[in-house]
Amino acid sequence: MTGTGKFFVGGNWKANGNKESVKKLVQELNDAKLEEDVDVVVSPPYIYLDSVLNTLTKRIEVSAQNSWVGKGGAFTGEISAEQLKDLGVQWVILGHSERRHIIGEANEFIGKKAAYALENGLKVIACIGELLEEREAGKTTEVCFTQLKAFADAVPSWKDVVIAYEPVWAIGTGKVATPQQAQDVHSEIRKWLAENVSAEASSQTRIIYGGSVNAANSAELAKQEDIDGFLVGGASLKGPDFATIVNSVTSKKVPA
């Protein structure tokens, strides 16, 4: 089983950057030559969303890094899906491991966030992934499936969802899952979707890999049949590197 969706590369800027560096990065992205058959999305910190939306080429879509679980109101420090839509944001990243493990967001809460975002016209990059001790205990798929089920129980449809598999032990550590390790988990996720959601969701939902993806390793990872793209952290802060990762779609087209 392989996916049929278009290659997808997202850049998660996390809590990095200032006005000057964001302006420079937008300029680099505007100047970059990007392969056409790739959906490209970047996710700046909230406070730079508006300026990025107003200056970035329309070739690249914009995502928020999080959104509130319901309608806005008396929720200090939170941002609602409606406000993101109002700005012109198209995507939101939900369930990122840093939100799960540092902030303490629970599976069910994240599932509800995804449902609310989708109902309000945002597309969702739904993150799942296991900790190092969970992988070492042989619990990788169990953890991923539990996180997936929380999304599946809540979301109305998978049409506007991209799944990002991000092994927590590989995020920002420089440790990368081997292409085979990543492919194995992606294949299991696709199988889970077929068995628990639908054959259509399994073939059409894009499953992207995140975890120390960079310009040097992206082509090798992209060759794997169930890797439909990437969610990039640190390397997305450098325009030329990010462009190289986007353009790794070309290694998808060459028979592996």
Domain ranges of the chain: 7-253
The pLDDT value recorded for residue 256 is 47
Using the structure block, give the residue that is written with the tokens 């700005």: 87
For residue 51, what pLDDT is reported? 98
Does 188 score more than 50 pLDDT? yes
Give mean pLDDT, residues 229-246. 98
Give which of 171, 145, 188, 149 is closest to 230, Cα–Cα.
171
> How much is the pLDDT for 1?
58
In the numeric block, the tokens 């592996």 are attached to 256
- As a whole number, mean pLDDT of residues 87-104 equals 98
pLDDT given for residue 13 in this prediction: 98
- Residue 12 near residue 46 (C-beta atoms within 8 A): no
CB atoms within 10 A of CB 71: 11
Taking residues 15-22, what's their average pLDDT?
Answer: 98
Q: What's the mean per-residue pLDDT of the chain?
A: 96
Neighbours of 9 (CB within 10 A): 29
What pLDDT was estimated at residue 176? 86
- How far the first Cα of the chain sits from its last, in Å, is 16
pLDDT tens figures, 129-149: 999 999 999 999 999 999 999
**pLDDT for 160-186, tens place per residue?**
999 999 999 998 888 889 999 999 999
In this prediction, residue 92 carries a pLDDT of 99
Q: Which helix (H) or strand (E) holds 165?
A: strand 161-165
Q: Which CATH class is domain 7-253?
A: alpha beta
Helices 179-196 and 140-154 sit at what angle, rounded to 10 degrees? Answer: 40
Q: Which pTM does this prediction carry?
A: 0.97
Query: Crossing angle, helix 19-31 and helix 239-246, to 10 degrees?
Result: 40
Q: What percent of the chain has pLDDT over 70?
A: 98
**What separation in angstroms does the CA of 173 have from each of 170, 195, 206, 212, 241?**
5, 33, 25, 7, 18
Would you name the residues annotated as active-site residues? 96, 166
Q: How confident is the model at residue 254 (pLDDT cuts 50, 70, 90)?
A: low
